[in-house]
Structure 1
Amino acid sequence: MKKTALLIALAFFSLTAYAQTVPDITAAYAGMKFRVPGSPLIVGSIGANNDILLIKYSDSVGKRYISFSTENTLEAGDCGWTEFFEATLSAKEIYGCDRASVESFKSVFVQGTDSGTWKIANRAYYYFLSAQDPSFVFFQSKDGNLIKLESDFLDSDGFRAILAGS
């Protein structure tokens, strides 16, 4: 009798634990695959010039979202993206990129954030994480486009989990 009760209790707790874990889903963007949290409420895409993939986890406007967008129009100050992001993350005052472009980017994305570079699978990801505002990760896609990954709820581990599948 005790074994049966123990087996039933163990099965119940196992099923409860399984039901509470939501598996990740695969999102495809810019020829790459990413593992995003499962059970989104809305998934939308705007192609053409905007080229945005939006994944929402809340009914509230502007809350709990993940978005991917192509940012090829980012003003990089006459530099390549790698050099530009290295300049924005550097404490140096002298760099090869246009100073106004670097300072403008710093004022919007760097100030008040935890920022740096992650190297994952031979790719550089430039992150700008905020506790109060949306957080951003910029990286170059396989086809050479600059991609911006944005979320208002992911932390460092959440972003890294998404990017690990790319």
Structure 2
Amino acid sequence: MKKPALLMALAFISLSACAQTAQNITAAYAGMKFRVPGSPLIVGSIGANNDILLIKYSDAIGKRYISFSTENTLETGGCGRAEFFEATLSEKEIYGCDQASIESFRSVFVQGADAGTWKIANRVYYYFMSAQDSSFVFFQSKDGNLIKLESDFLDSDGFRQMVAGS
């Protein structure tokens, strides 16, 4: 009598645990936590100078991924990061920002993308959403690093859900 009851209890607990974890998992990067879709196939990290975290959801090369990277070497054209992103998102020239750097960034990230800013929990996120190619979100981490999120399948809502806990 005790064994069947114990087996049924374990089966119920196992099913409950599976149902709760299938939606999202927590990914930690740069001292922050992000809610990413559950059930990845591969999770990999390249530390040192590259500092990249890659989460793959497909066996196909270059398909269905989310990556996190530190982009402190982004060429901002001699101006601060906030001014640089403001200049790339608007048509106005900002004093001190090299126009060639701004145009270069625009040609890679802004052209053909829905671009703008989100303000979530006292942090500004600069987003560049593409329907055909990869989409990107840039923001400054708690320790002052410039973080780039990239995905070829997340939409605006998916990125917002991911950064909501950071």
Same fold (TM over 0.5): yes
DSSP-derived class of the 2:127 partner? strand
User: What's 1:95 paired with?
Assistant: 94
* Code of the aligned partner of 2:79: C
1:30, 1:126 → 2: CA distance?
18
User: What's 2:65 paired with?
Assistant: 65
CA offset at residue 57 of structure 1? 0.3
User: What's 1:33 paired with?
Assistant: 33
1:70, 1:106 → 2: CA distance?
19
Question: What pairs with 1:48-59 in structure 2 (closer than 5 Å)?
Answer: 48-59=48-59
CA offset at residue 21 of structure 1? 7.9
Over aligned residues, Cα RMSD in angstroms? 1.5
DSSP-derived class of the 1:126 partner? strand
CA offset at residue 139 of structure 1? 0.3
CA offset at residue 19 of structure 1? 4.9
Question: What pairs with 1:118-133 in structure 2 (closer than 5 Å)?
Answer: 118-133=118-133
User: What's 1:74 paired with?
Assistant: 74
Structure 1 runs of 4+ aligned residues shifted over 6 Å read none
2:34, 2:21 → 1: CA distance?
19
2:83, 2:55 → 1: CA distance?
30
2:26, 2:20 → 1: CA distance?
19
1:29, 1:141 → 2: CA distance?
10
User: What's 1:161 paired with?
Assistant: 161
DSSP-derived class of the 2:68 partner? strand
2:121, 2:140 → 1: CA distance?
13
How many residues are treated as equivalent by the alignment? 149
DSSP-derived class of the 2:131 partner? coil
* Code of the aligned partner of 1:119: K
Q: 1:7-39, CA deviations, whole angstroms, 9 ceiling, x for partnerless residues?
A: xxxxxxxx8xx8598221110101111010110
Q: TM-score, normalised by structure 1?
A: 0.86
Structure 1 unmatched ranges of 5 or more? 1-14
User: What's 1:143 paired with?
Assistant: 143
Q: TM-score, normalised by structure 2?
A: 0.86
